[in-house]
Chains A and B, each alone.
Chain A
Amino acid sequence: MGIIPLIIWLIEDLLYVIIFPGLVTVMVLAIIIIYIERKIAGKVQMRFGPLWVSKRIGGALQSVADLLRFSFQSFIVPEGADRLAFILAPGLMFAFSMIPLIFVPVGPYYSLLFPAGLTVLLSVALILVTPIYAIVIGWSSDNKFSFVGSLREAFLLMSYEIPFIFSVLSMVIFYRTLNYIDAVASQYRFLPGIILNPVAAVVMLIVMIRTTGRFPFDITEADSELVMGLFTEYSALFFGVGMATPYVELYVYSLIFSLLFLGGWWPAPLYSPGPIMGLILPGLVVVVKAFIVMTILVFLRSVYPRYRLDQAVRSGWGYVMGLSALAVVISILEVIFL
């Protein structure tokens, strides 16, 4: 490979990572989804939602204003805290929540810095790294509420990891590949995964709600018990980053969900040349699908209160685990008989 194609390849990748569907898209989507979450809740709850900032466009810039406010606040490190861990953990948590995006393609020609056929495996493995930093945060804060919050996170992480892996595994068994692009291609041949294996889809949705702390599983940040859970001691941009992390996670999970269950970039052509049909259109389709999934999940805030820790853990080891095992069995049966 000559030097010029290598540079072009690198720039392309950087664009993918930084602009679409990477950092910039994530930030824009997070801001939009937070706005939508508030607006939906406002609609349900007989109020306007955000309105004060940029009144003419319905308060759409409220999230941006919040971000600005966070960035100009002063950051306080509590005296008893483990300084290094306390400062590094939110950033690392945010970064690690975004790293799986490298392995999640949003189009057929999505090239990779790390070309491999194991994208499903790698993204799933990396997605499960994020909660470890939540535990680090709880430990380093030197606050009882943060500590209890991180313990809860640990309990929940363990109880929902396995159903998540089983759910992905069942789809992998069916598609007979560990590559997202091949998985999408096989959905083009048959049907979307949500019809082929609805049980796996349900399990995945439950795990998504749980891992990203949406209601009714908003347990680690239960404000009436634990003030702000993990982020009790945080302020300024670090707090903002901490609050944005679940939305990034939600975005990554939703991308995986739309690739594995919603047919990927269907109805765009599977393999098609050209920058528009090959890159932009499939990407947009996947992101829009993911966005719809995110919207549905954030809507749950208006409907449900939160479960208790022991109930969530019990259901995680109980019926969610059972359902995920069932999903694997369904996939195996389908592979045998279809």
Chain B
Amino acid sequence: MSERVYNIEEAPNIDVSGDRYIMLQIGPSHPGSGHMRIKVWLDGDIVVKVDPDIGFVHRTSEWLSERREFIKAIPIVERIMLPDTIHANLSYITTLERLLGLEAPPRAQYLRTLAAEINRITSHLYGIGIFGIFLGSSTVYMWAFGDREPFIDLMEMLTGARITYSYIIPGGVRWDMPKGFKERAEKVLEYMEKRLKDYDDIWVKNPVVQSRCVNVGVIDKTNAIRLGVVGPNLRASGVYYDTRKHDPYAAYQNVDFEVPTFKNGDAYDRLLIRVEEIKQSMKIIKQVLKDMPEGKIIDEGTYKQLNPVMKKVYDERARVMFPAFYNHMRPQPGEATGRVEAGRGEIFFYLRSDGGKYPYRFRWVTPSFRNLPFFTHVAVGYRLADLPAIYGSVDYFPPEADR
């Protein structure tokens, strides 16, 4: 158990110049950093200041999207958050639909929820795997990445792609659920339930993991709210907040699920909450598969725009081919916002249209970027060896933060 040596409130005021402190540059090419540089000032073994230097994989997604038609932003936002592409897609489309005044039919909403939850599981498994390798457990790393595969295969069956789905389009989704998907999904869920017990044995209840994580990187409820932490990290600090509950989108108001919260807000709680959320996601997937309504997967207005060939394709293969007007969408002047709970936290979108072909302002904030102030705050006062534990537990994904 580690104790925090420096008081958080006074730590930012420490003058780190001079010889007293040793400065370590962790990253940008370091096994424990990802595509970012963390400047760490150490007093002996104790971290006194953390300065994350991000932007190494900045891909100017806002700039690019403002110079393209609305529909062409989908692949751009997707490629920013690769473990979690469906949420980038979903959040953009949710906002765009609000701007356009479109509403997707119920079946499409359910399919979106299904895809989002499958993607959330893969995203959490990705996070758990990275956390594992940060603490030195290559087993969990391999397991988590291996167990992502069945879910990615499911998504491939549903959307036709492994990672970059571009599945959700304004007014609906692109593919209907294929035959045999339900049975396969149930098999995968059964497998994952079995595997979660193995994870418990080798990782969650491992004494070394517990001694590394309990009481490390603590952030209390007040500070979590103050610093605007998002997603599982927020809920690990005991704040009951989930965009799926509080600002529902897709079909989340129709499914029954719980939002797990923990009290301590340490690295171990941030680990536990991801496991719990995987369980909740599996619960949602089961419900969605059971309650999936019949009907169209695209809204009436768009369906009417399909030409006869496209209609034939839609009727025979349940696949939406892009009507030409998608490329010339000109939303009414105005603005819209949208929020979606992605695997790592809340994605926020702000779109402004001036009635033209291109978005006038395309603004989005990703969860990892919003977790940054919290990360600089939380690592102070712990040991250098705690830094990977904290960094891993935050589930920070640099390309996502850099956008």
Contacts and interface: CB of A to CB of B under 8 A. Distances in A.
Interface of A: 41, 44-47, 144-145, 148, 215-216, 218-219, 222-225, 227, 301-311
B45 A309 contact: yes
Closest 10 CB pairs of A and B: A224-B32, A45-B142, A305-B135, A306-B136, A305-B137, A224-B388, A308-B385, A305-B136, A224-B134, A223-B31
Nearest to B44: A151
Contacts of B134: 224
B334 to A, nearest CB: 47
A309 B212 CA distance: 11
A212 B149 CA distance: 35
Nearest to B26: A225
Given A308-B383, A308-B385, A45 B32 contact: no
B296 to A, nearest CB: 41
Interface stretch (B100-108, B201-209, B242-250): B201-209
Contacts of B132: 305
A218 B136 contact: yes
B22 interface: yes
Contacts of A309: 45, 383, 385
A224 B2 contact: no
A46 B387 contact: no
Given A224-B388, A305-B209, A41 B139 contact: yes
A224 B137 CA distance: 11
B203 to A, nearest CB: 8
A308 B133 contact: no
B2 to A, nearest CB: 7
A310 B2 contact: yes
B385 A222 contact: yes
Contacts of A45: 138-139, 141-143, 146
A311 B45 contact: no
B192 to A, nearest CB: 14
27 contacts: A44-B139, A45-B138, A144-B24, A148-B384, A216-B208, A219-B385, A222-B385, A222-B388, A223-B31, A223-B32, A223-B136, A224-B135, A225-B385, A225-B387, A227-B30, A302-B139, A303-B206, A305-B132, A305-B137, A305-B208, A305-B209, A306-B136, A308-B385, A308-B386, A309-B385, A310-B45, A310-B385
B211 interface: yes
A227 B388 CA distance: 12
Nearest to A147: B22
Interface residues of B, number: 33
A225 B388 contact: yes
A335 B344 CA distance: 62
Contacts of A47: 142, 146
Contacts of A307: 208, 211-212
B213 to A, nearest CB: 10
B187 to A, nearest CB: 17
Interface of B: 2, 22, 24, 30-32, 45, 132-143, 146, 202, 206, 208-209, 211-212, 383-388, 392
A277 B139 CA distance: 43
A301 B385 contact: no
Given A227-B31, A308-B386, A309-B385, A222 B143 contact: no
B399 to A, nearest CB: 19
A75 B202 CA distance: 40
A301 B141 CA distance: 13
Report which residue of A216, A222, A304, A305 has the largest number of chain B beta carbons within 10 angstroms of its beta carbon.
A305
Report which residue of A46, A47, A224, A227 has the largest number of chain B beta carbons within 10 angstroms of its beta carbon.
A224
A218 B136 CA distance: 8
A41 B383 contact: no
A276 to B, nearest CB: 43
Contacts of A218: 136
Report which residue of B135, B383, B386 has the largest number of chain A beta carbons within 10 angstroms of its beta carbon.
B135
A48 to B, nearest CB: 11
Contact of B142 (A46, A225, A304): A46
B152 to A, nearest CB: 15
Given A45-B138, A46-B146, A222-B385, A303 B2 contact: no
Contacts of A44: 139
A154 to B, nearest CB: 13
Contacts of A306: 135-136, 208, 212
Given A305-B212, A306-B208, A215 B385 contact: no
Contacts of A222: 136, 385, 388
B184 to A, nearest CB: 20
B209 to A, nearest CB: 6
B388 A46 contact: no
Contact of B384 (A225, A227, A301, A305): A225
A45 B140 CA distance: 8
Given A46-B142, A224-B392, A305-B140, 11 more contacts: A44-B139, A45-B138, A45-B143, A148-B24, A218-B136, A225-B385, A225-B388, A302-B138, A305-B132, A308-B383, A309-B383
A222 B135 CA distance: 9
A260 B32 CA distance: 40
Nearest to B211: A311
A302 B206 CA distance: 12
A301 B142 CA distance: 13
Given A44-B139, A308-B2, A308-B212, A303 B202 contact: yes
Nearest to B388: A224
Nearest to B207: A304
A53 to B, nearest CB: 20
Nearest to A145: B24
B137 A304 contact: yes
A316 to B, nearest CB: 15
Contacts of B30: 227
A198 to B, nearest CB: 21
A145 B388 CA distance: 15
A69 to B, nearest CB: 20
A222 B208 CA distance: 15
Nearest to B149: A46
B22 A144 contact: yes
Contacts of A304: 136-137, 206, 208
